[in-house]
Amino acid sequence: MAGVGMGETLTGIEDLILVLNSGSSSLKFGMYYRVSDSDELPLLTGSAEGIGRSSGALHIRSADGKPLVTRESILESQSGALAAVATAIREHVHTAPVAVGHRVVHGGPNLRDHQLITPHLLDQLRAAAHFAPLHIPQALALIASAQSIFPAAAHYACFDDAFHRTMPEIASHLPLPQRYFDAGIRRYGFHGLSYESLVHHLGEQLPRRAIFAHLGNGASLCALRDGVSIDTTMGFTPTGGIPMGTRSGDLDPGVLLYLLRNENMSADDLESLLNHQSGLFALSSGESDVKALEERVRADDAHAALALNIFAVSVRKVIGAYIALLGGIDLLVFTGGIGEHSEQIRSAAADGLESLGLAAEKIKIVPAQEEKQIARHCRELMTGSS
């Protein structure tokens, strides 16, 4: 069934699911309807970018790509962006969603299943806020706003680390005393909804040994055997793993001790440094966008070249390690904004791995479909088919 264009009547479409995918300064969303037992299509999609910044903008498109709303203005918060989305839904769809799916980055050790949001679940999320202080409070605020705007809808939490529940303890257990593992300090892994969407997209074409590389402003890789996650680069938080747009990735713990002792940094100072002032942004002296960095490289900018080389080599090292872990490779998939659009990074990341069995025909580019995957989970939970 083809997607419905906004020029067509929408009054006959029922059981719509609104999906909310929030980032640190963005909100992606979509309204989905069921087209088969296992798939969803959007009526409209969009994004609010630059929330809280002077460069903020809201864009909403119909399924056929027609612009419905284009607003260049400051959106002060996720809740404000959601209110603008709700207005557009009332104007263009005329049907309230029966369910709202929320991407929740982290729920701590006790929340690893996609599920209906209840008062008890919200209490558990509040209690787990210390596991992800940058993400959980924001998720709670957005859920509260959505429940206020859409009080008749069922609300579902889809956890971005749930896909990695299958990792063996050898991958999830950090080399710290057992009491810390028991307290929930372990490798969780993230980008799980993106990786799930790739598994769904590839279906029976997914071979036994695969590596997925979600490369965007946040970036990670995942090793899969028989479609199941057995290792991933992000760890206790989405700050870990390879260097990213503004995140450091893994560091020698001694660096953090040095900063605490010699720079008199507080925990908040470290958090800001590691999440917002590091990665490509730090290496290039102020730029995290790969497209902009590639332009600077063409102008012989040494800092930009260093940033991109460190990023690509970090990805290459993980691919090589995961090939060894899997005992070979049948498929490498690039996804995410960088993975899908930067041929330079893809080429540099795969360079020299032919000797490990990575031939060109084993490499695919597949767009991530996190919002659609959330819609699928919500539908399954609604119908009891999960």
Contact assessment for residue 157 and residue 102, using Cβ atoms and an 8 Å cutoff: yes
Is 160 a residue of the active site? yes
The string of DSSP codes covering 161-185 is: TGGGGG--HHHH--SS-HHHHHTT-
Give the H/E segment covering residue 365. Answer: strand 363-365
pLDDT at 124: 97
Query: What's this model's pTM, rounded to 2 decimal places?
Result: 0.94
Minimal CA–CA distance to 174: which of 182, 165, 183, 186? 186
Strand partners, 45: 30, 61
Q: Where are the alpha helices (DSSP H) in the chain?
A: 78-92, 119-127, 136-149, 169-172, 178-182, 192-202, 253-262, 267-276, 279-283, 290-298, 302-326, 336-341, 343-350, 370-383
Per-residue CA distances from 170 to 175, 186, 325 (Å): 10, 11, 12
In angstroms, rounded to a whole number, what is the distance separating the alpha carbons of residues 183 and 189? 17
pLDDT in tens, the chain (386 residues): 334 443 343 445 779 999 999 877 789 999 999 998 778 999 999 998 888 877 788 899 988 888 988 888 777 888 888 998 898 888 888 889 999 999 999 999 999 999 999 999 999 999 999 998 888 999 999 999 999 999 999 999 999 999 999 999 999 999 999 999 999 999 999 999 999 999 999 999 999 999 999 999 999 999 999 999 999 999 999 999 999 999 999 999 999 999 999 999 999 999 999 999 999 999 999 999 999 999 999 999 999 999 999 999 999 999 999 999 999 999 999 999 999 999 999 999 999 999 999 999 999 999 999 999 999 999 999 988 65
Single out the catalytic residue among 39, 123, 160, 226: 160
Domains and CATH numbers, the chain: 17-159 (3.30.420.40), 206-365 (3.30.420.40)
Contact assessment for residue 97 and residue 150, using Cβ atoms and an 8 Å cutoff: yes
Minimal CA–CA distance to 89: which of 144, 149, 132, 147? 149
pLDDT at 9: 38
pLDDT at 10: 44
How would you label 105-142 residue by residue, b for 16+ Cβ within 10 Å and e otherwise?
A: bbbbeebbebbebeeebbeebeebbebbebbbebbbeb
pLDDT at 76: 82
pLDDT at 386: 55
- Rounded to 5 degrees, φ, ψ at 68 are -105, -40
Would you give the DSSP letter of residue 42? E
Minimal CA–CA distance to 38: which of 164, 177, 204, 166? 204
